[in-house]
Amino acid sequence: MSPRRPTAEIERFVQHWLADNLRVFPGLTNLALETDRLAAALTAHARDHGISGGDIHGAVGDIDTYLTTRYEQAAAAAA
C-alpha cells in the first residue's frame, strides 16, 4: 500500500483534471449520466497516478456531488 498523498495535492490533481475534461453541453437533460461519465473517467485517470477513489473522496467529499456542483457552476458561467 502506498502512502496517502496530501489532500491539497489531490485537490490540485482533481482541479487540473476538471480544467482539461469538464465540458458544458447546452441543453443537457441528464446531468446524472454526465456526472457518472466524468466520475468514471476521473477515477480511472487518478488510479493511473496512484490516487484512489477514497483519496478523492477524502479531498473533495462525495465525488458525484462535487462533480455535479462543478458542472452546474461551469454551466452558469457559460450562460
Res 28: pLDDT = 85
CB 67 within 8 A of CB 38: yes
Residues 6 or more apart whose CB falls under 8 angstroms from that of 8 comprise none
- Report d(CA 48, CA 66) in Å as an integer: 21
**Alpha helices (H) in 25-62, listed in sequence order:** 31-48, 53-60
Average pLDDT for runs of 10 along the chain of length 79: 78 97 90 95 97 95 96 91
Sequence length of the chain is: 79
- Whole-angstrom Cα distance, residue 79 to residue 39? 24
